[in-house]
Amino acid sequence: MWSTLHSKLRFSSGKRLNSTFRASEIVIDLTNNPKTMPALDETLIFGKKTTDHLFSVDWDAKRGWHTPQITPYQPLVLDPTSSCFHYGTECFEGMKAYRTATGKVLLFRPEMNVRRLRKSAAALALPDFDGEEFLQCIRKFVDIDRRWVPNKKGYSMYIRPTMIGTHQQLGVTKPGKAKLFIVNALVGPYFPTGFKPVALYCDEARVRAWPGGVGDKKVGGNYGPGIAYTDEINKLGYQQLLWLVNENVTEVGTMNFFVLWKNKEGETELITAPLDSTILEGVTRDSILALTKEWSEFKVSERSFTIHELTEAIEQGRVIEAFGAGTACIVCPVKKIFYKGKDYEIPMKLGNSGLLTKRLLDHVLSIQYGEIQHPWSYQVDY
């Protein structure tokens, strides 16, 4: 199911041995100095405490993929002229490993992350690989670092697959070398003391992505420029930016954006922007759409809507709740939106979130921690 026309063409080009790496060929060198496990409490900083090991595999245009390795965690050694430092040839993913009450380790829809990583790599002229083989590499790597998957709900092991161009040349060209690697980090709940709804700042002059660009890919260049903007609005008392494209609402910060409202026809509707070159194909986004359609309690729509439609609906009392969605937080309630000199307040029926936001958080967490049996759960245990 992983094959695409592109990968089939590559496999028929005579480079069968090196067109992909294989999980069965991983060379494993376990650490002799395991790290100390930090306390599982509110002092744990997201993505700061990395685990014991590193997965990596190199690629070059002449040989193709090299032998994959799992080694003790260590710095990467890269030439200063590597293309990832100069021309943005870098993409990444984010997923988590969860421990069930019975001690099993689960991943949540990891095949979607692998598929998206391949799409992101293709957009940067980075090499393709067999998705199923990489998924098995992730499985083996997580199993080796499984002591870092916490036995406490809300805590998990964050998995960060990354591909970078390592081509050594000061010139804009297709990378002739690349490295695919994975680092793991211990993370806690996004809201350790309960939901903290965010205030959004909407400015038409600020743009995250544009039609025909790579806003639908998980590349570093989509994130760096937003840091300075976010720092500016933080000083004004707002936590995230609501991104627009030609007045159409797209995403919020680094999350997909959802609104539950009464539309002009009087229907209760959950709405989010449709997938295009400005919208990241979020795993959590897809999961929310699938779950709410399965529940069949209200209309669920992927369609364009403008900031003017949204502010009008808020003023008319038709907005029920709004939230961002992503791997880190699952869902993040939105309490207000600033637009053109005015704050638009969004209802919070539970005080710090809406009813649907809380329900989605609880339901997705129950799947991720194995409390609800679901086909989205991928078992790491051999």
Place of tokens 């070398």: 177
Q: What's the mean per-residue pLDDT of the chain?
A: 95
Domains of the chain, residue spans: 5-189, 198-368
What kind and span of H or E run contains 289?
helix 283-295
Question: Is the pLDDT score of 329 beyond 80?
Answer: yes
Any idea how long the chain is?
A: 382
pLDDT tens-digit map of 349-376:
999 999 999 999 999 999 999 999 999 9
Instruction: Measure the CA–CA gap between 141 and 56, rounded to whole angstroms.
Output: 10
Sign of CA dihedral 64, 24, 158, 240: positive
Question: Is the pLDDT score of 9 beyond 50?
Answer: no
Instruction: Measure the CA–CA gap between 337 and 93, rounded to whole angstroms.
Output: 29
Question: Is the pLDDT score of 15 beyond 90?
Answer: no
Three-class SS of residue 69?
strand
Question: Is the pLDDT score of 247 beyond 80?
Answer: yes
- How are beta strands 198-202 and 330-339 bridged, if at all? parallel
Per-state percent for the chain, helix, strand, coil, to nearest 5: 25, 30, 45
Question: Is the pLDDT score of 11 beyond 90?
Answer: no
What kind and span of H or E run contains 257?
strand 255-262
Question: Is the pLDDT score of 1 beyond 80?
Answer: no
Find all residues with CB under 8 Å of 363, minimum gap 6, and list them: 291, 372
Question: Is the pLDDT score of 16 beyond 90?
Answer: no
Query: Which CATH number does the domain 5-189 belong to among 3.40.50.300, 3.30.470.10, 1.10.3720.10, 2.40.50.500?
Result: 3.30.470.10
Task: Summarize the confidence of residues 231-237 as an average pLDDT.
Answer: 97
Task: Summarize the confidence of residues 228-251 as an average pLDDT.
Answer: 97
pLDDT tens-digit map of 200-211:
999 999 999 999
Three-class SS of residue 338?
strand
Instruction: Measure the CA–CA gap between 198 and 267, rounded to whole angstroms.
Output: 26
Question: Is the pLDDT score of 6 beyond 60?
Answer: no
198-368 under CATH 3.30.1300.10, yes or no: no
pLDDT for 12:
36
